[in-house]
Amino acid sequence: MNRFEGSGNREAKIRYLDADFQILTPGSHVVCAMTGRPILIDELKYWSVARQEAYVDAAASLDAEKRAGALPNQSR
């Protein structure tokens, strides 16, 4: 099934696992927890298992770690 078959333009529900994810409810995309931007399932690469959140890119993932207190906020 490709991204245009059966899933429509709905948000998928996903369980994020270590190095993989499980689709609980089919959909075409998930939403980035930091930016609110949609992420096509085929392009999903960044997520947090602990927080069960998806991120659009590495920068958004890093910002989420800082927000969660896992990394120090460094200003330059």
Domain layout of the chain by residue ranges:
13-67
Whether the per-residue pLDDT at 44 is higher than 90: the answer is yes
Beta carbons within 8 Å of 31's beta carbon, 6+ residues apart: 11, 37, 38, 39, 54
The model's pTM: 0.81
Whether the per-residue pLDDT at 74 is higher than 60: the answer is yes
Strand bridging mode 29-31 / 38-40: antiparallel
Average pLDDT over residues 28-38: 97
Token readout for 33 is 């927890």
